[in-house]
């Protein structure tokens, strides 16, 4: 008799899907029946032969007919360019309301033939969380950042960006309140689900953080801190990139990457490039091709690539500083490998992890919307030359490399299956 069906679902956005794939591959290695629902664009990333692809294609919601995933990227790019936190929330919640019905209905249709025995989703995928509740499917949420609803005693500076509603911000505050209301109405139109906060407190949560990062804070009993999910083996580097790293190793390397969703203005790229031009280290940039000529204009030591396997780069001992948006995946991988960070947080969980890096003395942070080359130059020089940052990063890495990681996360999945489906 075939075993239980473990089904993952995620949008085909690298920041959302990558860690789900790491866990899916581990479960497939253990012999489980693993399915993964995502868009065609993400199909090639499901490289493990034991992961079975499930086509999930929500219809486009744009007037110009651009694809669903393309629309999600455009929205998140627009959010990253917005300096006002209330307006960022308004854009995000409004976009979530726009796509909610098509995401919910199409996922329901895609998973109906599979009949999951357990559904595993990233925390941002509200339609899937609601669908699991409606269909009474056992659910595990993979969380990169833990919201206030599961924190027992939230401490200042640990629960994300919570802007104060000064009178100047009232129009923006009302804008985000209306967008949140739209999202709630979209959820109610598709299913009679309780609040997402309530669902977060009910579901088993596998959190990729650790007590050493979370300032010793306590959480509701359904939260399991397993630490960063690092793929094993790490993805291979292109030969040309590996050779460049080896040539630059004696001088050290500064790695610059802002994920696939943050949209940088040219003036931000120019400030970064000018500030890094005389840092004395080789600089590896992972950024859209349209910016390659701009950064290479500043220094012959710069190497620009469109995409590199980030965890593999960060595992290289020659990397001495990581300039990042401080998204959860990036921040946690840097902490795991002991690389000091210069955080430029644009939105949401990025503010949390940039702040935690500063609090833990493993990094510095700058405002990306008020960035100057002098600020970049000064911060990078400190990170490269003040030994305290590297020492603190090494101590934190020692702790994180002892966390349960992906094997511990897979153990929790198996325990959930055993509890839901005891041997007969």
Is residue 343 within 8 A of residue 350, CB to CB? The reply is yes
pLDDT at 163 over 60: no
Nearest partner of 369 among 289, 262, 260, judged by Cα: 262
What Å distances lie between residue 323 and 38, 223, 306, 333, 339, CA to CA? 30, 30, 16, 13, 10
Least confident among 86-90, 205-209, 323-327, 410-414: 86-90
- Residues 103-128 have pLDDT tens digits of 999 999 999 999 999 999 999 999 99
Least confident among 157-161, 183-187, 319-323, 414-418: 157-161
- Average pLDDT for the chain: 91
pLDDT at 161 over 80: no
Predicted local distance difference test score (pLDDT) of residue 159: 45
- Residues 195-208 have pLDDT tens digits of 999 999 999 999 99
pTM for the model stands at 0.92
Predicted local distance difference test score (pLDDT) of residue 421: 60
If residue 419 lies in a helix (H) or strand (E), which one and from where to where?
Answer: helix 405-420
pLDDT at 424 over 80: no
DSSP secondary structure, 314-379, as one string: HTSTTEEEEEE---HHHHHHHHHHT--EEE---STHHHHHHHHHHHTTSEEE--GGG--HHHHHHH
Least confident among 2-6, 149-153, 417-421: 417-421
- Residues 16-71 have pLDDT tens digits of 999 999 999 999 999 999 999 999 999 999 989 999 999 999 998 876 767 899 98
Percent residues over pLDDT 90 in the chain: 75
Domains of the chain: 5-227+403-420 (3.40.50.2000), 239-400 (3.40.50.2000)
What Å distances lie between residue 261 and 15, 78, 208, 329, CA to CA? 8, 9, 20, 13
Q: What is the mean pLDDT of residues 156-167?
A: 48
The residue among 301 and 344 whose pLDDT is bigger is 344
- Residues 319-346 have pLDDT tens digits of 999 999 999 999 999 999 999 999 999 9
Is residue 37 within 8 A of residue 7, CB to CB? The reply is yes
What Å distances lie between residue 46 and 35, 95, 258, 284, CA to CA? 10, 27, 23, 27
Least confident among 79-88, 166-175, 278-287: 166-175
What gap in Å lies between CA 380 and CA 384, rounded to an integer? 6
Predicted local distance difference test score (pLDDT) of residue 3: 76
DSSP secondary structure, 10-70, as one string: --S-HHHHHHHHHHHHHHHHTT-EEEEEE-HHHHTT--STTEEEEE--PPP-STT---HHH
Nearest partner of 293 among 302, 282, 283, judged by Cα: 302
């Amino acid at each position: 008799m075939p075993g239980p069906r473990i089904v993952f679902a995620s949008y085909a956005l690298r920041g959302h899907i990558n860690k789900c794939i790491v866990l899916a591959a581990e479960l497939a290695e253990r012999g489980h029946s693993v399915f993964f629902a995502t868009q065609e664009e993400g199909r090639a990333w499901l490289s493990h032969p034991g992961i079975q692809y499930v086509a999930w294609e929500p219809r486009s919601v744009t007037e110009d007919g651009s694809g669903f995933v393309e629309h999600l990227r455009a929205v998140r790019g627009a959010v990253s360019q917005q300096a006002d936190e209330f307006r960022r929330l308004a854009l995000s919640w409004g976009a979530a309301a726009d796509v909610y019905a098509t995401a919910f209905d199409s996922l329901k249709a895609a998973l109906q033939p599979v009949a999951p025995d357990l559904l595993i989703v990233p925390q941002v995928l509200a339609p899937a969380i609601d669908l699991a509740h409606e269909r009474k499917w056992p659910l595990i949420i993979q969380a990169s950042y833990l919201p206030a609803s599961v924190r027992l005693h939230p401490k200042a500076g640990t629960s994300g960006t919570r802007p104060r509603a000064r009178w100047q911000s009232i129009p923006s505050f009302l804008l985000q309140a209306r967008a949140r209301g739209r999202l709630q109405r979209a959820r109610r139109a598709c299913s009679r689900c309780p609040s997402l906060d309530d669902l977060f407190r009910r579901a088993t949560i596998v959190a990729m953080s650790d007590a050493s990062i979370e300032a010793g804070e306590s959480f509701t009993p359904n939260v399991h801190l397993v630490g960063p999910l690092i793929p094993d083996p790490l993805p291979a580097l292109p030969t040309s990139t590996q050779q460049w790293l080896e040539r630059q190793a004696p001088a050290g390397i500064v790695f610059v990457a802002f994920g696939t969703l943050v949209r940088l203005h040219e003036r931000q790229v120019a400030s970064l490039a000018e500030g890094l031009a005389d840092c004395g280290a080789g600089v590896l940039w992972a950024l859209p091709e349209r910016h390659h000529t701009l950064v290479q204009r500043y220094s012959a030591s710069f190497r620009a690539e469109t995409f590199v396997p980030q965890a593999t780069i960060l595992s290289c001992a020659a990397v001495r500083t990581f300039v990042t948006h401080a998204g959860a995946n990036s921040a946690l991988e840097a902490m795991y490998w002991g690389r000091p960070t210069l955080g430029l947080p644009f939105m949401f969980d990025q503010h949390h992890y940039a702040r935690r890096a500063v609090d833990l003395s493993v990094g510095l942070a700058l405002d990306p919307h008020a960035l100057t080359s002098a600020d970049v130059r000064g911060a990078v020089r400190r990170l490269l030359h003040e030994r305290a940052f590297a020492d603190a990063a090494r101590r934190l890495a020692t702790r994180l490399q002892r966390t349960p990681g992906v094997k511990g996360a897979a153990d929790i999945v198996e325990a959930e299956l055993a509890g839901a489906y005891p041997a007969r």
